[in-house]
Amino acid sequence: MNKVDDLKSIAETADPSSVLKAPWNYYGKVLTFTGTVSDIKENPPDSESSKRLGGSSYSVVVNLENDVTVQGEMAGSSGNIKEGQQLTIYGYPVGTIEGNNTMGGHPVYICIIGK
Q: Which amino acid is at 51?
A: K
Task: Decide the pairing of beta strands 57-63 and 69-75.
Answer: antiparallel
pLDDT, the chain, mean: 87
Q: How many domains does the chain have?
A: 1
Let me know if residue 107 belongs to a domain: yes
Write out pLDDT tens, residues 12-27: 999 999 999 999 999 9
What residue numbers bound the domain in which 52 lies?
7-114
Helix (H, G, I), strand (E, B) or coil at 11: coil
Sequence-separated (6 or more) residues with CB below 8 Å from residue 76: 56, 57, 58, 115
Write out pLDDT tens, residues 57-96: 888 888 887 788 998 888 888 889 999 999 999 999 999 9
What local confidence, expressed as pLDDT, does residue 101 receive? 67
Let me know if residue 25 belongs to a domain: yes
CATH number, domain of 85, equals 2.40.50.140
Let me know if residue 23 belongs to a domain: yes
Let me know if residue 1 belongs to a domain: no
Residues 107, 115: Cα–Cα separation, whole Å: 24
